[in-house]
Amino acid sequence: MLIRLGYEIAIECAGSTPIISLLEIHRDRQADIKRQTRVLTSPSVPTRVYHDRHGNSCRRFTAPAGGFRILYDAVIEDSGEPDEVNTLARETPVAELPDDVLVYLLGSRYCETDHLSDLAWQRFGNLPPGWARAQAIVDYVHSRLSFGYGYARAT
């Protein structure tokens, strides 16, 4: 299956603003790209790409004061097959997790963990650990939660 993806992001900057965008196709999928444009900015500014410790391609640039746009368009090929299901996958206790994955368990300014923790334990704490619990969480999040910058607060 062919998937067309792209974006046109328009922002207004009060002053010259350094930006890092994480809008690139992951390098593991580069061979699947069938067509793509260069990342374009308007007005045109120099950009450069670096890779973070997770392998993400990060594009650095400085947007000038005033209106600014960044554009991209691509087509990528994908099998369309769902991700592998492993109902026997086990849950690793937090105490046994490798140090480098603990960062993913930390709170986020986009999620009020002090409020969400109680809900999580009420909804999912009695489910058997492993695949069933993880899938229940994914299903819950997918059907009930949405992300929106407009909901973010400094707290």
User: Helix (H, G, I), strand (E, B), or coil: what is residue 142?
Assistant: helix
Domain identity same for 50 and 102: no
- Let me know if residue 55 belongs to a domain: yes
For 14, the domain range is: 2-77
**Encoding tokens for residue 37?**
């444009």
The tokens of 89 are what?
């996958």
Cα dihedral sign, 32-35-38-42: negative
Pairing label, strands 17-21, 66-77: unpaired
Q: pLDDT digit string (tens) for 99-126? A: 988 988 888 777 778 888 888 999 999 9
The predicted pLDDT at position 1 comes to 95
Average pLDDT score over residue span 31-44: 96
User: Angle of helix 131-144 relative to helix 113-124, nearest 10 degrees?
Assistant: 120
Q: Note the residue count of the chain.
A: 155
Beta bridge partners of 7: 72
Please give the Cα distance from 155 to 133 (Å, whole number). Answer: 29
Residue 51 lies in a domain: yes
Instruction: Confirm if 11 and 71 have CB atoms less than 8 A apart.
Output: no
Instruction: Kindly report, residue by residue over 40-73, the tens digit of the pLDDT.
Output: 999 999 999 999 887 889 999 999 999 999 999 9
Q: What is the rounded distance in angstroms from the CA atom of residue 102 to the CA atom of residue 25? A: 25
Residue 56 lies in a domain: yes
Answer whether residue 89 is part of any domain. Answer: no
Q: Tell me: do 6 and 67 sit in the same domain.
A: yes
Residue 155 pLDDT exceeds 60: no
Total structural domains within the chain: 2
Residue 136: inside a domain: yes
pTM (global) more than 0.75: no
Nearest to 22 by CA among 61, 74, 68, 57: 57
Query: CA of 132: how far to CAs of 81, 83, 86, 93, 125, in Å?
Result: 21, 15, 10, 15, 12
Task: Tell me: pLDDT of 140 over 60.
Answer: yes
How much of the chain, in percent, has pLDDT values that exceed 70?
Answer: 95
Domain end among 77, 109, 137: 77
Same domain assignment for residues 70 and 6: yes
* Structure tokens, 46: 């120099």
pLDDT of 104 reads 84
Tell me whether strands 33-36 and 57-63 are parallel, antiparallel or unpaired: unpaired
Give yes or no: residues 102 and 142 share one domain: yes
